[in-house]
A and B are shown apart, each in its own frame.
Chain A
Amino acid sequence: MLSTIASFINAAIIQGIPLLFGSTGEIITEKSGNLNLGIPGIMYVGGISGIIGGYIYEHSVEKTVPIICILVSLCASLIGSALMSLIYAFLTQTLKANQNVTGLALTTFGVGVGNFFGGSLLKFFNESGSISLLDTGLAYKKALPFASKLGLFGNTFLSFGFLAYTAIIIAIVSSIILNKTRVGLNLRAIGENPATADAAGINVNRYKYLSTLIGGMIAGLGGLYFVMDYTAGAWTNNGFGDRGWLAIAIVIFALWKPKSAILSSFIFGGLYIICVYIPGLSSSSKEIIKMLPYLVTIIVLVVISARKKKEHQPPQSLGLTYFREER
């Protein structure tokens, strides 16, 4: 029984990590007032860029070095998601396009990019079969050296690849930056009331660009974690599924707080796979349980709008374009 619970917690965390990257990234973006619905697309691109980088490296050398495997694919992933975020920021900030439409187009585009290269990469190199980057995947999956020595506890909480810990560290650091630093204060002010932030001498445009960029890059790591650690270097089209949207749901569930996003992601990750751990569950009930995260999110959304507690609302200017000389 204990080992089942332990393995469930372990699996919940593994499922939760991509969601945590995605939701932390989206929180940082939304705090600047940008509702980036392109996050699911960005996560796809983050994943496939890492795959492409790793593939090219593995195919250009005789013997791979784990650390270089990681560096190459990590850089490729970050560049990919940064470019995606720049498209969003350029269209919504500089060209003042509608955020919803831009975000949805970006998701269409990003999922397309992911599936296209995932499906065609091998053909470009005249190979057949499916993508599988064993060396890179292995490098990512390497657990803390002492994890297995700590028995059940170690196996449950310390057996993950380094990206998993990175996700938690990023969420905690984001929380500290948002709540305890000037940069965070300025960023939150922009999301609440850009005109006030502008009047206080904050460069609204630069903050919005940077937070969208950094948020997107963090979210992209979620895609990278999924393809490198979770599936161990293998790509299957649409394999990432709707996790990007689930990440956006977590943003609401966590009330726009990165620290709460950590636990929320693990809860949502747990709900994603809990059906495997409940004995005797019919396959139809499993689908109902998978519905729970979204249902809970809606309830949270409705409750916060009904209670109208100021601290729990979405950033006030979320989704709106800011233009100074408006009169």
Chain B
Amino acid sequence: MNEKEKKTREPLFHIAKRPAIEWWKAWLIRGGAIIASLIVCAFIIVILTKQNPLEVYAAMVKGSFGTPRKFWAMLQNLAILLCISLAVTPAFKMKFWNLGAEGQVLFGGLCSMVLMFTVGDKIPNWMLIASMLAASVLGGILWGLFPAVLKAKWGTNESLFTLMMNYIAIQLVAFAIMVWVPSGSSVMGLVNSTTKAGWLPDLFGQKYLINILIVAVLTVVMFIYLKYSKHGYEISVVGESENTARYIGINVKKVIVRTMILSGALCGLAGFLLVSGTNHTISKELAGGNGFTAIMVSWLAKFNPLIMVLTSFLIAFLQKGAGEIATNFKLNTSIADILTGIIIFFIIGCEFFINYQIKSTKSKEGK
């Protein structure tokens, strides 16, 4: 066989796992991916609105920072998204695919609403709020515990299980609304709007400040838990290698169940904050898809709670900003989901260039 023929038959390049990459190179790649995705988004916006993209981005900034009210609303969205992201993080770090945050939030919220609705005017407000909190957390735990226990016992596929649990929660909420709203309009108005029983109080005149503060504290606590606690350490080891975990005597099943209890509890908490602190009502859209978005937020931040503040800000900003362009240019608000999707595609795609390298076959032969 002659040389030319041989060349054409050999693979031009092959892909190999990188042994490791410096952290700054990795973040450079990720930064590049975000910039590339913003350029693509700009193209799309220009095509749709025929406006100067800089003007459009300016409008987006206005959507989030334009008025104090918009700013607080954005912060509130950020806080809830961040709270759910924090919730799913320990489970993901352990490689337990909890796709059921949506349902855990919803069921947690439902537990709060049951108390708010039924005993709202019968017990002191502090006691009501405390019991609502407890009920939500327990509800979230319950929703996360089923899949975890069965995963530990029989290896039941947790991503499919948790996914299905979402819709059970959705239907339970729909059921409750039908029971509570006799007109059958399936929309529940503000609950206890006169007594404000079960409403988290305003702080310094700001309605959402308590939510934001709780989540801020939670972020720091979760960061410390994952990085400095024994539990956090066990989660990391189980997630990285179950073999190593067994080798040093970690009870893997126990860690799975314990971590999902935590994950469910925090989702329940998010449900409580939404019902008691933000909406004072409940609907099937209580979690509003944040249960799924949170998975991406957590993944993009490489499971680091502090970086999650940035990634959830990115998403919250996009959603508010896209809402603003939608009103300004009379477009549909779903543009936000399109932009979010594109940015996430770029960021998950760029991980390839961090973990793998493309080797040229020719250069290796030295010809």
Contacts and interface: CB of A to CB of B under 8 A. Distances in A.
Direct contact of A and B (CB under 8 A): yes
B174 interface: yes
B168 A291 contact: yes
A197 interface: no
A245 B164 CA distance: 8
A323 B15 CA distance: 9
- Majority DSSP secondary structure for residues of B touching A: helix
Given A306-B154, A325-B14, A108 B348 contact: no
A289 to B, nearest CB: 9
Interface string B96-140: 010100000000000000000000000000000000000000000
B300 to A, nearest CB: 9
Contacts of B186: 283
Interface stretch (B188-196, B211-219, B331-339): B331-339
Interface stretch (B77-85, B267-275, B350-358): B350-358
Given A91-B349, A101-B299, A113 B338 contact: yes
Given A116-B338, A301-B157, A305-B154, A97 B351 contact: yes
A136 interface: no
A242 B99 CA distance: 15
B155 interface: yes
B332 A120 contact: yes
B18 interface: no
Interface in B135-180: 150, 154-157, 159-161, 163-168, 170-172, 174-175, 178-179
A111 B337 contact: yes
Interface stretch (A7-15, A60-68, A257-265, A292-300): A292-300
B341 A284 contact: no
A302 interface: yes
Interface stretch (B240-248, B287-295, B304-312): B287-295
Given A242-B167, A283-B184, A302-B154, A98 B340 contact: no
A131 B344 CA distance: 30
B331 A123 contact: yes
B348 A97 contact: yes
Interface residues of B, number: 55
A101 B332 contact: no
Contact of B171 (A98, A102, A291): A291
B345 interface: yes
27 contacts: A37-B159, A90-B349, A96-B355, A96-B356, A105-B296, A105-B348, A107-B292, A109-B338, A109-B345, A112-B338, A114-B334, A116-B331, A117-B332, A119-B331, A245-B163, A248-B160, A249-B164, A252-B160, A284-B178, A284-B179, A285-B175, A287-B171, A291-B171, A302-B154, A305-B155, A318-B157, A323-B17
Closest 8 CB pairs of A and B: A109-B341, A112-B337, A119-B332, A291-B171, A284-B178, A115-B334, A95-B352, A305-B156
Interface of A: 35, 37, 87, 90-91, 94-98, 100-102, 104-120, 123, 237, 242, 245-246, 248-249, 252, 282-288, 290-291, 294-295, 297-298, 301-302, 305-306, 308, 314, 318-319, 323, 325-326
Interface of B: 14-17, 48, 97, 99, 150, 154-157, 159-161, 163-168, 170-172, 174-175, 178-179, 184, 186, 289, 292-293, 295-296, 299, 330-332, 334-338, 340-342, 344-345, 348-349, 351-352, 355-356
Given A283-B184, A287-B174, 20 more contacts: A90-B349, A95-B351, A96-B356, A97-B348, A100-B97, A101-B296, A101-B299, A102-B348, A108-B292, A109-B338, A109-B344, A112-B336, A114-B334, A245-B163, A249-B164, A284-B175, A284-B179, A287-B178, A290-B174, A319-B159
